[in-house]
Structure 1
Amino acid sequence: MTPLPSPQQLRYLVALADLGHFGRAAASCAVTQSTLSAGIIALERQLGAAILERGPSKRPVFTPLGVDLVKRARGALAALTAVAETAAAARDPLSGPLRFGIIPTISPFLLPRLMPALRTAFPRLQLWLREDLTERLGDDLAAGRLDLLLLALPATLPEVETLRIADDPFVAALPPDHHLAGDASVTLAALGGERLLLLEDGHCLRDHALAACGLPGAGGGDSFAATTLHTLVQMVAGGLGVTLLPRLAVEGGVLSNTPVLLKPLAEPQGRTLGLAWRARSPRVADFRGMAETIAQAIEASGATQQSRADAVLPA
């Protein structure tokens, strides 16, 4: 019978690939560096093949076989985790740890409302939160480091299932002395002639804003980029240009008492918010059970935003 790697050996392998450093990988696995190195050597002997290149470099360099084994090790660990999660979900649904990833254009504006709602609805659930860009959250989901994502759809993530839960409309944000400030609403054609301020590459909201205005993915050349929506608002307040803001962010306080003016779009545009999880996850029932609570929190934000928007946006 072919000797099989142990789960611990696979964890060593994946940690070394993720962190690129023997000491940090060992610390993440709660073992000494010598223990981790010995585990990798033992795995190579079991398999009868080299996983790491041996040379002067202190950083681990994986052989082509090693790169392939890391990918397979991730899948194997995810499958083992699913076995335990299946049993846990059957024993006690919507309980225990859940690793939840959220994109930064949602998390600071929704979490103050969402977290109390989730604690009330699911008191036995232990949420671990991570905020990051969609691509990196997707990598963590695929690797089993996250269980559930809240993001903007569509998202090009492999082997995931998604569930649309809410719409988040855009409003135009203008400097206080802008020539469109007196208009009741702003057309997309008018925005197309302005300097459109955007988030940096990697933020899905950037792509959604470009798509709403019918602009190419590169941003049309003469553009400035911000790292956060708060920075974007400050750039608008400083007269550098205009932007599109999701209502969820406006309701969440992104304007921060700035003089920025909000105008409705004459042709409504927005983004779709939804959940994503690994296809065939054993916790699908849990995720769908949480979806209604999350959707209600978003809807409540939208409803409040709508009432405030009526006061801020011209009728």
Structure 2
Amino acid sequence: MTVRFSLRQLEFFVAVADAGSISGGAERCGASQAGVSLAIRDLERHLGVQLLVRRRAKGAVLTEAGHGLLLDARRLLGSADELQALASATGGQVSGTLAVGCYVTLAPFLIPPVLDEFAGRHPALDVQVTEGAADDLREALLDGRCELAFLYDVDEGSGLSTVPIRTTRPYLILAADHPLAEQESIALAEIAAEPLIMFDVPSARNAARMLADAGLVPRLRHLSSNIEVVRCLVARGVGYSILVQRWPTDVSFEGLPIASRAISDPTQERRAVLAWPTRTRLTRRAQALIDFCVSRDGGS
């Protein structure tokens, strides 16, 4: 069987699909609009299907056939990148491009070592990290825009395989001079009547649910999607908060001390994982990141 299309045509098609327009795709690929448009028309002709609906001044929209081809095109380009990296690798060197997603609240803990320590060990590897919401990152994994993503543990049947890299439990933060700060652990009933400063992201919104499950009614004082605002308000004594990830220092953005204390009530562990699509084969570069994260954090 003779293949009548090129990897460059697939690259143009994927770029246009991601950008939503011929012009945007051409800019991403450093090519002319006319060249990209012609290449995709040739691709459509060789495949015998229409991949894009071109709308003047409204960009380009994928057809049903285009959506069907997109993931396979990404995989084929990824395999080609892997093949080229293997061919040029020396001494087991990992190279190519590794696209990684990271859930926003995990980013401060996981992105710095990935872009510093891991990337430093593999100088021929281009590590590109995108931060985002959990649903957006799952979609990016399933449609091939990311090879791996840092997420909280995902449900079975999601189409994703995972390996645990970090395990934590919810804990309380309160002002350092708060009377309860003298205790090593605090029961939710001891603090529930005080104002709650809630970190307003999906992974942390279970604070109110934890209180409700314990038969307690939270006194919500303030919601913020900025973790440093939450920590600053707590340090000032405006209220307390329940967080999941442990901050490396108990000092707020303003330099005020914060007390971190365990919750004496039963709490459920939260697992951060590296996820990838179940039906895809891991590349050497993806496996290298998995090995790095597991060895660094011990999977816990």
TM-score interval (norm. to shorter): 0.7 to 0.9
SS in 2 for 1:82: helix
1:70 maps to what in 2?
Answer: 67
1:163 paired with 2:163, answer yes
CA contact (8 A) 1:89 1:282 kept: no
In structure 2, how many angstroms separate the alpha carbons of the residues matched to 1:145 and 1:74? 9
The residue type paired with residue 100 of structure 1 is V
- Within 1, Cα distance between the matches of 2:84 and 2:210? 45
8 Å CA contact 1:94–1:286 kept in 2: the answer is: no
Change (3 A) 1:19 1:253: farther
Partner of 1:290: 292
Report the counterpart of residue 303 of structure 1 in structure 2.
Answer: none
Shift in alpha-carbon separation, 1:76–1:54, aligned structure 2, 3 A: closer
Secondary structure in 1 matching 2:128: strand
Task: Give structure 1 stretches of 5+ with no counterpart.
Answer: 300-315
Aligned residue in 1 for 2:204: 206
Alignment-derived partner of residue 17 in structure 1: 17
> 154-163 or 164-173, which moves further after superposition?
154-163
TM-score normalised to structure 1 length: 0.71
CA distance, structure 1, for counterparts of residue 124 and residue 78 of structure 2: 20
Check the 8 A contact 2:14/2:73 in 1, yes or no: no
What is the rounded CA distance, in whole Å, between the counterparts of 2:114 and 2:13 in structure 1? 36
Cα pair distance change 1:163/1:52, threshold 3 Å: closer
- CA–CA distance in 1 between the matches of 2:156 and 2:194? 30
Percent sequence identity over aligned pairs: 24
Between stretches 255-264 and 112-121, larger displacement belongs to 112-121
**How many residues are treated as equivalent by the alignment?**
289
Say yes or no: does 1:264 pair with 2:275. Answer: no
Greater length-normalized contact order (CA 8 Å, ≥ 6 residues apart): 1
Partner Cα distance (1:290, 1:118) in 2? 7
Tell me the residue number matched to 1:172.
172
Write the letter of the residue equivalent to 1:19: A
Q: CA deviation at 1:266?
A: 0.9
Higher-strand-fraction structure: 2
Task: Determine if contact 1:108/1:252 at 8 Å carries over to the other structure.
Answer: no
TM-score norm. by structure 2 comes to: 0.74
The answer for the alignment partner of 1:275 in structure 2 is 274
Equivalence map 1:86-97=2 (5 Å): 88=85, 93=92, 95-97=94-96
Q: State the shift of 1:172 in Å.
A: 0.6
After the TM superposition, which residues 216-295 of structure 1 pair with which residues of structure 2 at under 5 Å, given as runs? 224-248=222-246, 250-251=247-248, 255-256=252-253, 257-267=255-265, 269=267, 270-279=269-278, 280-283=281-284, 285-295=287-297
Determine the structure 2 residue equivalent to 1:107: 107
> Structure 2 vs 1, CA of residues 27 and 120 (structure 1 numbering), >3 Å: closer, same or farther?
closer
Contact 1:121 1:293 in 2 (8 A): no
Tell me by how many angstroms 1:52 deviates: 4.1
Shift of 1:295: 1.3
Q: Using the alignment, how far apart are the partners of 1:286 and 1:172 within structure 2?
A: 35
Alignment deviations for residues 227-247 of structure 1 (CA, whole Å, 9 cap, x no partner): 332122123335553222345
The answer to which of 177-186 and 258-267 deviates more is 177-186
Q: Secondary structure at the match of 1:62?
A: strand
Whether contact under 8 Å (1:169, 1:268) holds in the other structure is: no
CA contact (8 A) 1:114 1:294 kept: no
State the shift of 1:58 in Å.
0.8
- The answer as to whether partners of 2:100 and 2:149 remain within 8 angstroms in 1 is yes
Please give the root-mean-square deviation of Cα atoms over the aligned residues, in Å: 3.9
Amino acid in the other structure paired with 2:118: L
Unaligned runs of 5+ in 2: none
By how many angstroms is 1:54 displaced? 5.5
CA contact (8 A) 1:191 1:213 kept: no
Equivalents in 1 of 2:52, 2:23: separation in Å?
Answer: 16
Distance 1:70 1:221, change over 3 A: farther
CA distance in 2, matches of 1:23, 1:84: 24
1:81-108 CA-to-partner distances (Å, cap 9, x unmatched) read: 2355267469665611433333332332
